[in-house]
Amino acid sequence: MNIREWPAEERPREKLLQRGAGSLTDTELLAVFLGSGVRGHNVVELARGLLVKFGSLRQLLEADREAFVDELGLGPVRYSQLQALLEIGRRHLATAIENESVMDSPRAVRSYLKAMLRHETSEVFGCLFVNTKHRPLAFEILFRGTIDRASVYPREVVRRALFHNSAALILCHNHPSGHSEPSQDDVHMTITLKRALALIEVRVLDHIIVGDGEPLSMLERGWIAE
């Protein structure tokens, strides 16, 4: 059935306008993004089929360019639009922390770091550099590794902290497996970096590990003394 023949309250776009985006299923959200279907399939059927093919909305959003554009109903234009929307979301989250102390808005900081790291398919390590008032100066991904390991070099972390004239920083890395519990290597690396940065009077405020669900704070777990 053509989607225009559906009752208005069941059409994804109208449902979003009446009840808000949070009321939509993954299929309906994707249908709104796609806008139209393909021959023989309305937009909801197309969206449902894509989610089955990729496995989930997240897996579709994180699909590489080649896999995405090859699918019927997607293509390079929609890939470009999707990447732009994802970047808009990341920048929106960045504005939530740019004028505040990161210690006053830990939830916003974690949401931002999750948006920056969760889509990565290999392990990456980054730093959120902050000034004397703990307001963000810059965020950088410093090291990229394999599916379960990224080599971290304290000298490079120190160099970037000096470059940004940072007074403190928040360390962060992701676990592509989805499990956010730190390994012994994570704990040892944090201690090593804290000692190296102390030599140039730069404080490590926290180390955030991004997996599925809520990011883990090593400060809250007691692995980083204030």
Contact in structure between 167 and 202 (CB atoms under 8 Å): yes
Q: What's the confidence (pLDDT) of residue 39? A: 85
Give the span between the Cα atoms of 53 and 156, in whole angstroms: 41
One pLDDT digit (tens) per residue for the chain, 226 residues: 677 778 877 889 999 999 998 899 999 999 999 988 888 888 999 999 999 999 988 889 888 899 999 988 889 999 999 999 988 888 887 787 777 787 778 888 999 999 899 888 889 999 999 999 999 999 999 999 887 788 999 999 999 999 999 999 999 999 988 888 888 899 999 999 999 999 999 999 999 999 988 999 999 888 776 5
Q: What's the confidence (pLDDT) of residue 1? A: 62
Contact in structure between 44 and 28 (CB atoms under 8 Å): yes
Q: What angle do CA 100, 102, 104 make, to 5 degrees?
A: 75
Would you kindly state where each structural domain of the chain is located, as residue ranges?
3-91, 101-217
CATH class of 101-217: alpha beta
Q: What's the confidence (pLDDT) of residue 99? A: 75
As a three-state string, the secondary structure of 130-164 is: ECCCCCEEEEEEEEECCCCCCCCCHHHHHHHHHHC
SS3 171: strand
Q: What's the confidence (pLDDT) of residue 135? A: 92
Q: What's the confidence (pLDDT) of residue 173? A: 95
As a three-state string, the secondary structure of 69-124 is: HCCCCCHHHHHHHHHHHHHHHHHHHHHCCCCCCCCCCHHHHHHHHHHHHCCCCCCE
